């Protein structure tokens, strides 16, 4: 074992881990389609899209016009005549795909509506 050959440059170097971003979701996500309107609370920029999934902690909004990570915004979800308004933070941006959104302030009427949506999705599995 005196002559060990190593092949440098063959395997990509491990990427440094990004701190501050959750690696794991803390609630189960369910497939869910709702119209989404996001308004950046600082700039007033408005982004429209549609959700692909939802959980008690957040959702993913498919849109071609993303907002930057850590943007604080107001999200309005509309589905079957019901409207949910919530304050959110953009946690993940997937260019040309969409935004991973975390809910951070759900007032009681909106909290009940989100819980009812999730319960309905849970029962339909």
Q: Which residue's structure tokens are 């074992």?
A: 1
pLDDT of residue 23: 46
In a domain, residue 103? The reply is yes
- Structural domains counted in the chain: 1
pLDDT of residue 84: 96
What's the predicted TM-score (pTM) here? 0.78
Q: Which residue's structure tokens are 């909290």?
A: 111
In a domain, residue 37? The reply is yes
pLDDT of the chain, 125 residues: tens digit per residue: 555 555 455 544 444 444 444 445 578 899 999 999 999 999 999 999 999 999 999 999 999 988 999 999 999 999 999 999 999 999 999 999 999 999 998 888 999 999 999 999 999 87
In a domain, residue 18? The reply is no
In a domain, residue 3? The reply is no
pLDDT of residue 76: 97
Burial (Cβ within 10 Å: 0-12, 13-18, ≥19) of residue 34: buried
pLDDT of residue 1: 52
| Close Cβ partners of 77 (under 8 Å, ≥ 6 residues apart) | 34, 35, 36, 51, 54, 59, 83, 84, 86
pLDDT of residue 47: 96
Residues of the domain holding 85 = 30-123
Q: Which CATH number is 92's domain given? A: 2.40.10.220
pLDDT of residue 8: 53
In a domain, residue 13? The reply is no
């Amino acid at each position: 074992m005196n002559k060990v050959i190593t092949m440098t440059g063959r395997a990509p170097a491990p990427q440094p881990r990004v701190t501050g971003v959750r690696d794991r979701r803390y609630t189960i996500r369910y497939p869910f389609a709702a119209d989404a309107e996001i308004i950046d609370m600082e700039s007033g920029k408005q982004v429209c899209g549609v959700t692909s999934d939802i959980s008690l902690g957040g959702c993913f909004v498919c849109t071609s016009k993303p907002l930057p990570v850590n943007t604080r915004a107001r999200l309005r979800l509309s589905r079957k005549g019901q409207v949910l308004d919530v304050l959110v933070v953009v946690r993940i941006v997937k260019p040309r795909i969409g935004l991973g959104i975390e809910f951070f302030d759900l007032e009681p009427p909106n909290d009940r509506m989100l819980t009812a949506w999730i319960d309905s999705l849970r029962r339909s599995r």
